[in-house]
Structure 1
Amino acid sequence: MKLESPKVTVNKSAQDTFNFLSDVKNFENLMPENISKFEVLDNDKFLFALKGMPEIVLKKKETTPPNQIVLGAAGGKIDFSLTGNISEIDATTSEVQLIFEGQFNAMMAMMIKGPINKFIETLASNMPNAINTVA
């Protein structure tokens, strides 16, 4: 299963956007309002939970500065990745798209597709404001 967020424009350079997403503690600023838990476990790993959902641990797996960051499931029952693709528009503007990919059976995919799609859309839509506030 592959889900893509809408592309969002950020008023920061691709490098600044990459730096923001490279710091896992900044993901707390991107989370939806229904977050019930967020905890940084390591400099490249964090745990979060949304109300009514199990806890998920994400770990930074791969980086290609300043264009891509790949987070992956760190343990748990399901294996998936969340990739942030960053494109430079000009020296002070970049564009970001999040891509969620995972292998799920048809029943599981049907159950999680809606919530995950909404989740990555929320992360993306919160990004421009969060980056401008923090960076």
Structure 2
Amino acid sequence: MTNFESSVQINRPVNQVYSFLSDLNNHEKLMPENIYNWSSTTDEAKFTIQNMAKLALKVSSRTENKEILIIPSEEAPFAVEMKWLIIENGDQTTATLTVSADLNMMMKMLASGPLQKLVDHQTAALQKELV
């Protein structure tokens, strides 16, 4: 598995950050502009990545105020999981997004840049959203 990771400090209590991230309806606000056809519920999201693929994701597990694990709910181009780790630091919260993808060498060359940009974009968007 190849990991792509990004962390951000948020000036909000851990329960507010967890509450926002645990609802997949909110994740549309964290997506880059090349995502469209978004539909979601609290536990599932479906969307299309421009010029790439359609994805369907679901929350696999939640650990209150600590972790949210998101996995594909339908066939995906490759095995992938997204994990949000949320850690309380006094009056701040550290949110870390890790995307783990099972990529062959060719996919690794094609997808590594976009996947790292995605995790960086999502953590930056989370920080802006929860100002």
Runs of 4+ residues over 6 Å off in structure 1: none
- In structure 2, the partner of 1:4 is 5
Q: Deviations over 1:72-123 (max 9, x none)?
A: 1112232210001111111x32011100112121111221111111011100
AA aligned to 1:24 is L
**Counterpart secondary structure, 2:107:** helix
RMSD: 1.3
Give me the whole-angstrom Cα distance separating, in 2, the residues matched to 1:46 and 1:131: 21
Question: In the alignment, does 2:116 pair up with 1:85?
Answer: no
Q: CA deviation at 1:18?
A: 0.6
Give me the whole-angstrom Cα distance separating, in 2, the residues matched to 1:119 and 1:8: 14
- In structure 1, the partner of 2:61 is 62
- In structure 1, the partner of 2:18 is 18
Give unpaired runs (5+ residues) of structure 1: none
* Contact preservation (8 Å) 2:22, 2:42: no
Q: CA deviation at 1:4?
A: 0.8
AA aligned to 2:33 is E
Question: In the alignment, does 2:109 pair up with 1:110?
Answer: yes
Give me the whole-angstrom Cα distance separating, in 1, the residues matched to 2:49 and 2:104: 22
* Contact preservation (8 Å) 2:44, 2:56: yes
AA aligned to 2:5 is E
- In structure 2, the partner of 1:98 is 97
Give me the whole-angstrom Cα distance separating, in 2, the residues matched to 1:106 and 1:80: 15
AA aligned to 1:23 is D
Q: CA deviation at 1:131?
A: 2.7
Q: CA deviation at 1:67?
A: 1.0
Percentage of pairs with the same residue: 26
**Counterpart secondary structure, 1:46:** strand
AA aligned to 2:18 is F
Count of residue pairs the alignment pairs up:
129
